[in-house]
Amino acid sequence: MTRIRAYILGKDAELEFWWDQPFEVMGACPNVGDTLCSPLHRPPVFHSVLRRYFLNPGGWVLILRDIETSPQMLNVLKTWNDDTDFWDKVDEEEEQRLVAELQWRLTKPAKEGSAKRGRKALGKQSRPKGKA
């Protein structure tokens, strides 16, 4: 399985392990110059990709350096989080609507005569009227 491992370049060119993920989690390997954000840290932490190596077999190694957080970076993160909250609410409302519709369909009373139509739909003939 191809992996992506990230290391932060420290003082004296030491590499500090940062994270390790299957390639499929990211879908692509970040390029040199890309900015990566770790929003779970408080305050959020930003890194720049200095180098990337492909080790065969194995996967990608990223060498990162810490970068100072700018107002633009924080604005990008805030906008992302606001949009995520918006779309999460849209998804939740859609799911609630679908559940309500499904519950209604499962609990609505059958229409009169629907049993006869159901028999015909199954290829079964109804008994002719007036015959025993």
Q: Which residues contact 5 (CB under 8 A, 6 or more apart)?
A: 17, 19, 20, 59, 60, 61, 62
Q: What is the pLDDT of residue 15?
A: 97
pLDDT digit string (tens) for the chain, length 132 residues:
899 999 999 989 999 999 999 999 999 999 999 999 987 778 899 999 999 999 999 999 999 999 999 999 999 999 999 999 999 999 999 999 999 999 998 988 777 655 555 555 555 555 556 655
Phi, psi of 44 (to 5 degrees): -60, 150
Q: What is the pLDDT of residue 36?
A: 95
**2 — phi, psi (to 5°)?**
-75, 135
Q: What CA–CA distance (Å, rounded) separates 76 from 66?
A: 18
**E strand or H helix at 54, and its extent?**
strand 45-55
**Structural contact between residues 63 and 52, judged by C-beta atoms closer than 8 angstroms:** yes
pLDDT given at position 33: 97
Closest CA to 29 of 56, 1, 6: 6
Question: If DSSP codes are grouped into helix, strand and coil, which group holds residue 43?
Answer: coil
CB-CB neighbours of 26 under 10 Å? 12
* pTM (global) more than 0.85: no
